[in-house]
Amino acid sequence: MVEKLDADITVIGAGLVGSLFANFAADAGFKVIIIDKANHKDLIKNSFDGRASAISFGNKRILEVNNLWGEINKYVQPILEIRVSEEGSNSYLHFDHKEIGSDPLGYMVENRYLRKVFFESIIKKKNVQLFDEHEITDFSTLNGRGKCFLNNSKVIDSDLIVAADGIKSKIREKSNIEFIEKDYRQTAIVTTVKHEKHHNGIAHERFRTPGPFAILPLRGNMSSLVWVESNITAEKLLKLESNKFNFELEKRFGDFLGSIVSVPPNWKYKLKLSHAKQYYQHRIVLIGDAAHATHPLAGQNFNASIQDITSLVYMLKKKSILGLDIGIVDTLRKYDKLRRPSNDRLIAMTTFLNSLFSTNNSIKKFSRRTGIALVQNSGFAKNFFMNYAGNKDINIPNFSDININS
């Protein structure tokens, strides 16, 4: 028998972005149903997502104002310095938190902890229902409201369907929303590295010809490594026995943190750029990797998504206070217009840096050697990498407090 459910908003996908959106939307007073095909206990397991995220200072403030940072703070490592260098060169770009005050540039936190905090918060809220192990099979937006058909005979009616279903978004595809796509032909090997010496809160972004190699500080004498190689090399490395894998790792990592060892398991992520040409359709809106996904070299895609959903929930709440329909294109178009320029810049910059450094082409080699000094002085790269510290001055909404005057 068909079970009929009703909500203001249905969120498809309970990854980092969908689950954070559900928290914000529920705080703003919306009745939310969030579904994911995975089991929510699996989603927070260490084995599900081995990545750690660099969270910008501005986004930390958003999470703080909305009562999520208190729990996350137990697991974070502040980023105090960022060093950007090229393999084989002794010079590097250096960004120190002291240049902008006493606050850190950002915070490293393992994704499993972010997911745990977001889920625990969702479960406590009375106006959110989480259906894990549920998959959307079809949807319709034709008859007044959005209708989502789930695999186990549930049908959800809502004013807005939020697609947070990742880079291969089925909702985006079925809505005929066009998107640009580029295969970087690179794989990011993600692993945790235990080292003898403390990292002193320094994040390293080292550009190598096959791809960037990022050493990102975690609590204690541990770092999260994002090691980018061509797809073929990455496959070979991941098949090595652990002593041989550690040997290859040491060759690239160096000995500046003393002896090192990788802590299994290792994960792999094939890297692709994808950007939807439109973030909306009637009663549909895209967020997270469903809207845009880019190269992880600056660790900013989730950060950009936090900015997206903050703007989106704020706009939806203002509409609903005025008694207006939250699913019509008028509101959703404004969200697109507001967030697209910044997301375009992020994608352009990450793609440019990846192609500038990941090549043996002698002209590019020359331009990056001279360019690295120039960008250090121009402040261009500085602004980009220090976006970890960005958005300090934005108006940060507390979603439970938005009213007609705010």
Ligand X SMILES: Cc1cc2nc3c(=O)[nH]c(=O)nc-3n(C[C@H](O)[C@H](O)[C@H](O)COP(=O)(O)OP(=O)(O)OC[C@H]3O[C@@H](n4cnc5c(N)ncnc54)[C@H](O)[C@@H]3O)c2cc1C
- Residue (146 or 402) nearer to ligand X, CB: 146
CB of 361 vs ligand X, minimal distance in Å: 25
CB of 125 vs ligand X, minimal distance in Å: 19
Question: Which spans of this chain sit near ligand X (rule: CB under 6 A)?
Answer: 12-18, 35-38, 51, 53-54, 135-136, 164-166, 170, 188, 190, 226, 269, 288-289, 293, 296, 299-303, 305
DSSP state of 181: E
CB of 54 vs ligand X, minimal distance in Å: 4
291 closest CA partner among 7, 40, 18: 18
Neighbours of 143 (CB within 10 A): 8
Neighbours of 360 (CB within 10 A): 7
Q: How far apart are CA 109 and CA 217, in angstroms?
A: 9
Strand, helix or coil for residue 260: strand
DSSP state of 2: P
Q: How far apart are CA 182 and CA 190, in angstroms?
A: 21
Give yes or no for a contact between 23 and 118, defined as CB atoms under 8 angstroms apart. Answer: yes
CB of 146 vs ligand X, minimal distance in Å: 15
CB of 299 vs ligand X, minimal distance in Å: 3
- Residue (43 or 326) nearer to ligand X, CB: 43
- Residue (108 or 375) nearer to ligand X, CB: 108
CB of 239 vs ligand X, minimal distance in Å: 19
- Residue (17 or 381) nearer to ligand X, CB: 17
Q: How far apart are CA 40 and CA 38, in angstroms?
A: 6
Q: How far apart are CA 195 and CA 255, in angstroms?
A: 9
> Angle CA(340)–CA(345)–CA(349) in degrees, nearest 5?
150
Give yes or no for a contact between 313 and 25, defined as CB atoms under 8 angstroms apart. Answer: yes
Give yes or no for a contact between 45 and 68, defined as CB atoms under 8 angstroms apart. Answer: no
- Residue (104 or 402) nearer to ligand X, CB: 104
- Residue (13 or 58) nearer to ligand X, CB: 13
Contacting residues for 19 by C-beta, under 8 A, at least 6 apart: 34, 115, 118, 119, 122
CB of 59 vs ligand X, minimal distance in Å: 8
CB of 254 vs ligand X, minimal distance in Å: 21
- Residue (43 or 381) nearer to ligand X, CB: 43
> Angle CA(354)–CA(359)–CA(365) in degrees, nearest 5?
100
- Residue (36 or 81) nearer to ligand X, CB: 36
12 closest CA partner among 38, 51, 47, 44: 38
